[in-house]
Amino acid sequence: MTFSTTELSDLAARPDRFLAAARDLASETGSAAFTVAQLTGRAGLSLKAFYGCYRSKDDLLLALLTADSAIGAEVLAERIGDRTGAEGVHAFVSELFEMLALPGAAGYAGVLVREYLRLAEHHFDELRTALEPLLTLLAKNISTDQPNRDALTMFGVLLGGIYDVVIGRARAHEIAEYLHQFCAFGVVR
């Protein structure tokens, strides 16, 4: 059996189509409460195509978090600029919360904060790998004996604040300042 260039291109594009559909559904609902059937309908692809790309919805969510964490870390790094150390940590926190207002960010943030603990329980290593670009960006400004571990812990605390913003319980700027002060005592020397 041989495939044409068009067929190969269509096969290669399927994961991206599923990610785009998941991103759209997450942006609309602010959560990952969509079904695989809704996702395949949005992507215009079959269930067979979905399971040819992903083992489960969790695998898709991890792929979405991987893609969006890389993009988010790149944007966040540009916003932080040349600030380092304590100033870099402050910039990371404040700019992370400022980014919640960017187009499409609320959907990603909603999925991340609502799915983080569940995914961490069942897919800890994969989730940590997905979030690695953000964790590395934060860790490079932490001057402790275990900056990577401290970045992971701090990121978990920040997700609690992002959750409060996503559900409307807190304003981004206020919670960012509070969490920066709270975390800075533990991770900045």
pLDDT reported for residue 10: 61
Residue 130: CB atoms within 10 Å = 23
pLDDT reported for residue 7: 45
pLDDT reported for residue 151: 94
Contacts of 13 (CB under 8 A, 6+ apart): none
pLDDT reported for residue 11: 59
pLDDT reported for residue 77: 97
* Tokens linked to 137: 């960006």
**Contact present, 53 and 18 (Cβ < 8 Å):** yes
Cα 52 to Cα 14, 82, 151: the distances in Å are 9, 43, 35
CA 184 vs. chain centroid, Å, equals 22
pLDDT reported for residue 184: 84
pLDDT reported for residue 8: 42
Entry pTM: 0.86
CA dihedral sign of residues 81, 109, 52, 43: negative
Structural domains of the chain in order of their starting residue, each with its CATH number: 56-187 (1.10.357.10)
Residue 153, amino acid: T
pLDDT reported for residue 188: 58
Residues of the chain with pLDDT under 50: 3-9
